[in-house]
């Protein structure tokens, strides 16, 4: 367990293979399932009483709801309301992935690029399809800025297309890199604590306490960034400038 | 809790004032945090644009058997696209594809300040 990267290893809980394709139920799948169940429980149990003066759970549920509702309203305007469930689901699954990863001995599924990449591709494909459905082929005028001299068009269009295609990469790498870096750092400092002995080991431990606070903040910030970039990408697709 | 609505309003107002004072005192570290975030964002933007264009270039080379020309050209374009993305992020245009009109930009800056 001394290797700081061993925490990211995928371990199957129920091994299962079809035609040589590994479809095991892993600890990653288990934590994803836990995240879905926990946020469903939080929202349904929290809103069970629907009281005027909210209790603790209801307060948390309403806070998440209002946070995303405001974000969607600010970015997408009134007609953006139909995208609220999409943005909210993305936000909750990323946030719960990040936060559940902060529990000792748990597994952070957002620290795997295949997970964040799949989420980012979902956002990217949804935004592109929304744009195509709304504007038809006119959607591709997104890559051609207004008032551009025609001689420059091939160059600029190529650059804009690359810039557009790099979105899902930067979206997924940002979340994945933050999570891996943070958790590796925590593990490294925890390792220092063990190797420096009982007296001097206190120092890295104090550092680790501060880092855990920072990590929890990063968990929230990264979920927020993921959600707001989803909003921005949808906005670009909905209202061609 | 025998508070009239006016008293409650006053209490809420004073609590809000305190909150704004506290957040302005924390302003400096907030700016530092934002700069660090910006730096991290810039790195990822640059790397991902170059990565995507390098991959496309490699793919075109495989297809047209033109190694290494397409990859070289695409890497240059990717470099430009990466810097363009960083510029946009830094100017508060948030990774928007295509240039915004001047007026939009001014309005956005105003709202950013407010």
Q: What is the ipTM of this complex?
A: 0.73
**What predicted TM-score, i.e. pTM, was given to this entire model?**
0.81
Of B45, B51, B95, the CB nearest to A232: B95
CB contact, 8 Å: A229 with chain B?
Answer: yes
Q: Tens digits of per-residue pLDDT, A98-140?
A: 999 999 889 999 999 999 999 999 999 999 999 999 988 888 8
Both tokens assigned to A229: 């970039």
Mean pLDDT (whole number) for B55-78? 91
d(CA B75, CA B56): 9
A166/B41 CB distance under 8 A: no
For residue A26, what pLDDT is reported? 92
A-B CB pairs within 8 A amount to 75
* Chain A partners within 8 Å of B78 (Cβ): 162, 166
User: What residue ranges do the domains of chain B occupy?
Assistant: 32-113
Give φ, ψ of A11 to 5 degrees: -120, 125
A159/B81 CB distance under 8 A: yes
Report the candidate in A6, A218, A222, A39 with the shortest Cα–Cα distance to residue A115: A222
Confidence of residue B17 (pLDDT cuts 50, 70, 90): confident
* Chain B partners within 8 Å of A178 (Cβ): 40
Count Cβ atoms within 10 A of the Cβ of residue A213 and give its class: 0-12 exposed, 13-18 middle, 19 or more buried: exposed
Angle, helix A113-135 to helix A153-195, in steps of 10 degrees: 150
B84/A229 CB distance under 8 A: no
Q: Tens digits of per-residue pLDDT, A4-30?
A: 888 898 888 888 888 888 888 999 999
What is residue B91's three-state secondary structure?
A: coil
Mean pLDDT of the residues in chain A: 90
Q: Tens digits of per-residue pLDDT, A224-233?
A: 999 998 998 8
């Amino acid at each position: 367990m001394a290797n700081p990267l061993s925490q990211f290893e995928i371990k199957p809980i129920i091994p299962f293979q079809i035609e040589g394709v590994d479809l095991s139920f892993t600890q990653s799948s288990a934590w994803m399932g836990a995240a879905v169940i926990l946020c469903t429980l939080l929202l349904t149990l929290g809103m069970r009483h629907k009281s005027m003066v909210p209790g603790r759970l209801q307060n948390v549920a309403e806070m998440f709801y209002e946070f995303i509702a405001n974000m969607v309203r600010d970015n997408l305007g009134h007609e953006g309301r139909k995208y609220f469930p999409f943005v909210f689901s993305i936000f909750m699954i990323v946030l719960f992935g990040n936060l559940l990863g902060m529990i000792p001995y748990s597994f952070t599924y957002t620290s795997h690029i295949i997970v964040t990449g799949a989420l980012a591709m979902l956002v990217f494909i949804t935004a592109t399809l929304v744009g195509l459905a709304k504007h038809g082929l006119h959607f591709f005028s997104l890559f051609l800025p207004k008032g551009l001299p025609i001689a420059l068009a091939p160059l600029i269009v190529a650059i804009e297309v690359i810039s557009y295609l790099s979105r899902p990469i930067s979206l997924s790498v940002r979340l994945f890199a933050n999570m891996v870096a943070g958790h590796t750092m925590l593990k490294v400092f925890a390792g220092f604590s063990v190797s420096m002995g009982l007296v001097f080991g206190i120092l890295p431990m104090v550092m680790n306490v501060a880092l855990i606070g920072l990590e929890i903040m990063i968990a929230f910030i990264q979920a927020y960034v993921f959600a707001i970039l989803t909003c921005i990408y949808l906005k670009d697709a909905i209202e061609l400038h | 809790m025998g508070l009239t609505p006016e008293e409650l309003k006053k209490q809420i107002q004073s609590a809000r004032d305190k909150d704004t004072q506290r957040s302005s005192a924390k302003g400096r570290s907030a700016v530092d945090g934002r700069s660090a975030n910006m730096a991290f964002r810039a790195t990822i933007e640059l790397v991902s644009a170059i990565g995507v264009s390098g991959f496309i270039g490699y793919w075109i080379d495989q297809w047209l058997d033109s190694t290494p020309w397409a990859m070289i050209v695409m890497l240059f374009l990717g470099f430009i696209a990466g810097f363009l993305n960083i510029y946009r992020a830094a100017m508060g245009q948030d990774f928007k594809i295509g240039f915004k009109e001047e007026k939009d930009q001014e309005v956005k800056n105003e709202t950013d300040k407010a």
